[in-house]
Amino acid sequence: MSVSLLRLHGLEVNYGAVRALRGVSLSIEPGAMIALLGSNGSGKSTTLKAISGMVKPVAGQIEYQGQSTSGKSRIAWFDWVSRMCPKAVAFFKDLAVLENLRMGAYTRNDADGIAEDLAMVFDLFPAFK
């Protein structure tokens, strides 16, 4: 059996007295494209925040490529989760448009690839240019 790209098992997250996640388990296989669907407040964002290390689960495991991520710093595997994209309202008001776009490449250092991706964005959204 192949190793899952990402596996959550029995994840529980609290915000103070509020239980936000109760026993969330799922596997994502390599190459899969998935969507997490649910009503408002059902725990989608909290699940992503737990995966990226922004909130600390009180129980459960997160495995990335078969390895537990507990005890690892967020940065150690940030490269994978850095593709998380906040809601459209969450931009940096004090930064210019170009600076905001460049924030998406915060963890990258492949200048050519970044320039290529920026060109693609300008192609898709000419108003940004």
Subset of 1-30 contacting ligand ADP (CB under 6 A): 15, 18, 20
- How far apart, in whole angstroms, are the C-alpha atoms of residue 93 and residue 77? 28
Q: What angle do CA 76, 81, 82 make, to 5 degrees?
A: 95
Beta carbons within 8 Å of 14's beta carbon, 6+ residues apart: 20, 58
Q: Give the residue nearest to Mg ion (CB).
A: 45
Residue 56 binds ligand ADP (CB under 6 A): no
Work out which of 12, 28, 44, 78 binds ligand ADP, going by CB under 6 A: 44
- How far apart, in whole angstroms, are the C-alpha atoms of residue 12 and residue 33? 24
Smallest separation (angstroms) from ligand ADP to the CB of 81: 16
Euclidean distance between the first and the last CA atom of the chain, given in angstroms as a whole number = 47
Residue 46 binds ligand ADP (CB under 6 A): yes
Q: Which stretch binds ligand ADP (CB under 6 A): 35-43, 64-72, 98-106, 117-125?
A: 35-43
Smallest separation (angstroms) from ligand ADP to the CB of 80: 20
For residue 93 the two structure tokens come to: 């008001």
Q: Decide whether 6 or 11 has the Cβ nearer to ligand ADP.
A: 11
User: From the list ligand ADP, Mg ion, none, which binds 23 (C-beta under 5 to 8 Å, kind-based)?
Assistant: none
For residue 83 the two structure tokens come to: 């593709």
Q: SS3 of 99, please? A: helix
Q: Site residues (CB under 6 A) for ligand ADP?
A: 15, 18, 20, 38, 40-46
